Amino acid sequence: MPLWIDTHCHLDAPEFDADRDAVLARARARGVSCLVLPAVTADHFEPLRHLAERTGQPYALGLHPLWTGAAEPEDSLARLDAMLAATRDDPRRVAVGEIGIDGFEPGLDAARQRHFLAEQLRLARRHDLPVILHVRRSADAVLALLRRHPVRGGIAHAFNGSEQQARAFVDLGLKLGFGGAMTFERALQIRRLATALPAEAIVLETDAPDIPPHWLYRTAAERAAGQSSRNEPAELPRIAETLAVLRGWSLEETAAITRANACAALPGLAALIGAAT
């Protein structure tokens, strides 16, 4: 069975509170042996670290742009800096993330988001860590800050920009995350990118419980009627089948290529994968 890395999974999300261990067991049964767990707020740091330790998974620490409006910049950034220092010797802490800019949700303060991202890029450089980036409708703004505050690589998660933007991230040493959105036949741009980009640029993710693949998607009316669209890390191998078809790879090749890319993007994964196999 191929071994897979889910480079972005919010296993600590409340959607998994009722059956988190079963979710993890299903993932492992499908060969998804490694899930990267990104934080979203400073209050998540300690619980996430304990979850990662209990489940044997890697994690990242960062302040998500959707929550920057409720965070005090000095306090939250100081807490992040302190936690990055405190976990310096923890092999499971592999990145600064999830950080970035969101240009989709209304009402967010763009300048505030840029401030948080710039400061977190500085922290990533200070602590010599790669980053996991949120780039929803914000690729150019994130690229501008990355050029000003270069880091040691990482992943632009759930990428859905242009090919020019994609290649700009790759030129800066980052990989691009592809997941459930790629499985929709109408996602022409994402599928074109998954086909055209260099093989070494691509990593796989679920963003569970979000971004469900087409077989889990439910309309707003269906969700209101109680039908679930929760994504799970166990869906990753089936998501990978889409990438395999687009690239003309076998599933084994797809697993090996994306696993190597994930370890290149987040070097701390290599030792963890080796210890788990």
| Rounded Cα gap, residues 54 and 52, in angstroms | 6
> What are the angstrom distances between the C-alpha of 53 and each of 79, 92, 260?
20, 8, 23
| Rounded Cα gap, residues 59 and 35, in angstroms | 8
220-251 pLDDT, tens digit each = 787 777 777 899 999 999 999 999 999 999 99
Q: What is the pLDDT of residue 275?
A: 59
Q: What percent of the chain has pLDDT over 90?
A: 91
Find the length of the chain.
277
For residue 152, how many C-alpha atoms fall within 13 Å in the half-sphere facing its CB? 16
CB 46 within 8 A of CB 80: no
Question: Average pLDDT for residues 130-135, to the nearest whole number?
Answer: 98
Angle, in degrees to the nearest 10, between helices 45-55 and 73-86: 30
> CA nearest 180: which of 229, 250, 137?
229
| Rounded Cα gap, residues 65 and 77, in angstroms | 13
3-state SS of 2-41 is CCEEECCECCCCHHHCCCHHHHHHHHHHCCEEEECEECCC
Q: In this structure, how many other beta carbons lie within 10 angstroms of the beta carbon of residue 219?
A: 10
164-219 pLDDT, tens digit each = 999 999 999 999 999 999 999 999 999 999 999 999 999 999 999 999 999 998 87
**In the CATH scheme, what is the code of domain 4-276?**
3.20.20.140
CB 12 within 8 A of CB 51: yes
- Name the band, by pLDDT with cuts 50, 70 and 90, for residue 276: low
